[in-house]
Amino acid sequence: MRRGYLFVFLAASFWGTLGIFAEYIYSYGVDSFTMVFWRVLFALIILGSYIALFLRQSPFTKERLWFYAIYGLVGVFAFYTLYFYTVKISSVGFAVLLVYTAPAFSVVLGRLVFGEPLTGEKVIALVLVLLGVLLVAGNVDFQVNPLAVVTGITTGFTYALYGVLAKFGVKKESPERVLFMTLLFGLIFLAPFSRLSVPRGAIPYLLGLAFFPTFLGYVLYNHALREVEVSRASIIATVEPVVAIALAFVLFGQRLTPLQLVGGSLIIGASILVHAREKEAEEVR
């Protein structure tokens, strides 16, 4: 089980680089939909090559196409569309805060869909995570359009659904193929809203965005969900904003406030709690 938790932590760490790559890509005037489209396209090329050359498999499958269509619509298209729209009508801090309502949804969905136990440490960890994300998000302006509250919370719900759908997917297919088919359908949904050309200078950063937070991040997360409960994985994955602010401090010199440091400590503490308590439970069994 330790390996599964390590994979979640590594996945979240790679996701934490997303904002760094986006910062550089936006400087070339690339809009959000186009950035996500090329991110997914390059990730498909990298992932398809990896599956064919190293796993000796075809990345395609004709099985359960309806499932991958739903997965791509919810986990790729809807999630990113709602996230960027929330940023547009509110702020980045507010959008990030509501994205990380996902662990709350994951705890409920894990219980309803997979029968995962609702334990005391999960509830405590969930409270720590929500408080930690609130502090990490910084000076969040809560005087926002009510629509932003709806789209932001829906973003968190679609984020939670990604884990639930991934859990179903990896039961019957390899994590890599599940990701490939999901991204493929996500790309189809994104195409009508995206520009099919980007400045050359942005391409290296788009490749980095495709390789680290997309290819590596999601492959590791999908592998982790073979071993880790959806609810626990979602809580641990909230280390992503902690990694993001740490990288912003190192690369861009952005100031870290004492409250952000406290928030990061709460999130890391919650991750340690859900891991440690499950380890204790396994030893008892």
* Separation of alpha carbons 4 and 221, rounded Å: 8
The answer, yes or no, to whether residue 224 has pLDDT greater than 90, is yes
What is the pLDDT, as a whole number, of residue 174?
95
What is the pLDDT, as a whole number, of residue 277?
65
The answer, yes or no, to whether residue 284 has pLDDT greater than 50, is no
Q: What is the pTM of this model?
A: 0.88
Q: How many CA atoms lie within 13 A of 9 on its CB side?
A: 14
CA nearest neighbour of 161 among 95, 93, 113, 199: 113
What is the pLDDT, as a whole number, of residue 283?
47
- What are the pLDDT digits (tens) for 17-49? 887 888 889 889 988 889 899 999 999 999 999
* Separation of alpha carbons 9 and 5, rounded Å: 6
Q: How far is CA 25 from CA 36, 215, 277, in A?
A: 11, 18, 41
Among the ranges given (67-76, 163-172, 201-210, 242-251), the one the predictor scored with the smallest mean pLDDT:
242-251
Mean pLDDT of the chain: 89
In this prediction, residue 70 has a pLDDT band, given cuts at 50, 70 and 90, of: very high
Q: What percent of the chain has pLDDT over 70?
A: 94
The answer, yes or no, to whether residue 208 has pLDDT greater than 90, is yes
In this prediction, residue 141 has a pLDDT band, given cuts at 50, 70 and 90, of: low
Is residue 109 within 8 Å of 160, Cβ to Cβ? yes
Look up residue 33 and give its two tokens. 């939909």
The answer, yes or no, to whether residue 73 has pLDDT greater than 50, is yes
What is the pLDDT, as a whole number, of residue 285?
42
Q: What value does the mean pLDDT take over residues 217-227?
A: 95
What is the pLDDT, as a whole number, of residue 140?
63
Report the amino acid identity of residue 160.
Answer: A
What is the pLDDT, as a whole number, of residue 59?
96
Q: What value does the mean pLDDT take over residues 118-131?
A: 91
What number of residues does the chain have?
285
Q: What value does the mean pLDDT take over residues 53-57?
A: 95
